[in-house]
Amino acid sequence: MPYIGRFAPSPTGPLHFGSLFAAVASYLDARAHGGQWLLRIDDLDTPRCVAGAGTEIIETLRAHGLQPDGEIVWQHHRQAAYEAALQALRNAGSLYGCVCTRKGAAATAAKQGLPHGVYPGTCRDAGVPERDARALRLRLPAGTLAFNDRLCSTQQHDSQTAVGDPILLRADGLTAYALAVVVDDHATGVTDIVRGADLLNTTPAQIAVYLALGLPLPRYAHVPVQHDAAGNKLSKQHGAPALDAKLAAENLQRAFAALSLGEIPADEPERMLQHATAAWKARI
Ligand code: GLU
């Protein structure tokens, strides 16, 4: 079976251990399957991006032996593809205009007992013309959005009460992550998405986008989120420290240990990754 995997960091700061861990997991899985490993810089959400962080992340990955196949994709070059996908969905009648603010939608959702972040459908049948809309949402068909995760088993989410119609074109005019990630992964032929479990809850909306665009679904594997000593998720928001590329061997050993791959002696990063790939292969 062909295998194309990828790592898709957002350049909101330098690479920290939590993202190195996700990069290593996706890399080892791709190599263990004899597949390709692509790199995409998700720099679409410009207000959150930090100048120079994308290039810095690429260099840090290389210093850890994580050399991507093919050309690196930058989302800021992909606007035409997002617009084409949006137009296809518009033509199919799958989109609707929404005038709700985030706060307003959240208050209505809370009143209806919906989980946090689930859109209550206020504008679904309101016929808001696109020129008056703040955002465009995807109309989810009623029923269950299901997918298999290699590590998190079968996932089933009710489209109305657990997912909610996702925004695909944001109020600030930017393409939403749920649309961009699907368009880009499909365009680059990605068959396998290995990423942190903090993104597991974003997957049902992405499944809905694949289905609405009539695209085949990738396989998913969500790896455990890494925490700091205080139990916080290792993330930029929680101030996870930048990785020191001079400590590449130690950083890799820490990632292999978190993946329970056993002892892999310090060496050139490329050789360490080869050993780790063999250990990962024995497990899949
Ligand atoms: N760019 C996203 C992030 O860093 C991840 C994209 C993905 O792996 O699907 O949170």
Nearest-atom number in ligand 1 for the CA of 6 is: 8
Neighbours of 87 (CB within 10 A): 11
Spell out the per-residue pLDDT of the chain, length 284, in tens: 799 999 999 999 999 999 999 999 999 999 999 999 999 999 999 999 999 999 999 999 999 999 999 999 999 999 999 999 999 999 999 999 999 999 999 999 999 999 999 999 999 999 999 999 999 999 999 999 999 999 999 999 999 999 999 999 999 999 999 999 999 999 999 999 999 999 999 999 999 999 999 999 999 999 999 998 888 999 888 889 999 999 999 999 999 999 999 899 999 999 999 999 999 999 98
CA–CA distance, 172 with 47 (Å, rounded to integer): 10
80 Cα–ligand 1 center, Å: 20
CA–CA distance, 169 with 119 (Å, rounded to integer): 15
CA–CA distance, 191 with 171 (Å, rounded to integer): 31
Tokens 């944001």: give the residue.
170
The predicted pLDDT at position 237 comes to 80
Neighbours of 142 (CB within 10 A): 7
Length of the chain: 284
Pocket lining: 10 vs ligand 1, CB cutoff 6 Å: yes
Q: Residue 268 corresponds to which tokens in the numbers above?
A: 């050139």
How far is CA 248 from its chain centroid?
Answer: 24
Ligand 1, pocket-test mutation among 42, 74, 210, most atoms within 8 A of CB: 42
Backbone angles phi, psi at 120, to 5 degrees: -80, 0
Distances 193 to 148, 165, 171, 212 between C-alpha atoms, Å: 12, 23, 28, 19
Ligand 1, pocket-test mutation among 149, 181, 233, most atoms within 8 A of CB: 181
Residue spans of alpha helices (H) in the chain? 17-32, 53-63, 79-91, 102-111, 177-187, 203-213, 248-258, 269-281
Pocket lining: 8 vs ligand 1, CB cutoff 6 Å: yes
Pocket lining: 174 vs ligand 1, CB cutoff 6 Å: no
8 Cα–ligand 1 center, Å: 5
The predicted pLDDT at position 235 comes to 86
Neighbours of 132 (CB within 10 A): 8
Q: Which amino acid is at 7?
A: F
Backbone angles phi, psi at 154, to 5 degrees: -75, 135
CA–CA distance, 256 with 196 (Å, rounded to integer): 15
CA–CA distance, 58 with 174 (Å, rounded to integer): 24
The predicted pLDDT at position 266 comes to 96
The predicted pLDDT at position 161 comes to 97
183 Cα–ligand 1 center, Å: 13
Sheet holding 167-169, edge to edge: 95-98, 135-138, 167-169
CA–CA distance, 59 with 55 (Å, rounded to integer): 6
Nearest-atom number in ligand 1 for the CA of 206 is: 9
The predicted pLDDT at position 230 comes to 87
Nearest-atom number in ligand 1 for the CA of 9 is: 4
The predicted pLDDT at position 122 comes to 98
Nearest-atom number in ligand 1 for the CA of 185 is: 9
